[in-house]
Amino acid sequence: MIAAHGVSKRFGRRQVIDGLEAEVATGRITALVGPNGAGKTTFLKVLLGLVRPDAGCVAVDGHALDGSAAYRAAIGYMPQIARFPAYASGRDLLDLLRALRGGTEEPDLSLAEAFGLGDGLDRPVGVLSGGMRQKVNAVLA
């Protein structure tokens, strides 16, 4: 479950998020909908730990977003345009994410198999086609 209580964020004079209250049950597909500048992307960045809220708290599966690896293991994110080091392979990136999330077990590659990535995970992402990079991105999420 994702829970946000009283989340606020300001950039300079602009109040981007003001007292957001939200709960999303585990396994639910949820859309953030609103006009440009409504704070959708900022909230996602708060959820990912990329931006700190000025007020309020956010928790994933009961783990506060405090920079620890506990909540990172429960969350995945697939940006529209991913920027990975061109020389890194998909497998290198999986290893990096596993370390960031505090995991020790081998990654589940069933999605890579379903996508037919073959040796795509072992090739530098910079040489992959756009579609193959998106598949690697989905496996990483």
Residue 48 burial (C-beta neighbours within 10 Å; 0-12, 13-18, 19+) = middle
pLDDT score of 98 = 83
Q: Tell me, what DSSP letter sits at residue 133?
A: H
Segments of the chain with pLDDT less than 70: 67-70, 72-73
DSSP three-state, residue 56: strand
- The tens digit of pLDDT for each residue in 76-87 reads 777 777 888 999
Q: Which domains does the chain have, with CATH numbers?
A: 2-72 (3.40.50.300), 90-140 (no CATH)
pLDDT score of 10 = 96
Q: Tell me, what DSSP letter sits at residue 120?
A: G
pLDDT score of 108 = 79
pLDDT score of 67 = 66
- The residue type at 28: R
Contact 117, 125 (CB under 8 A): no
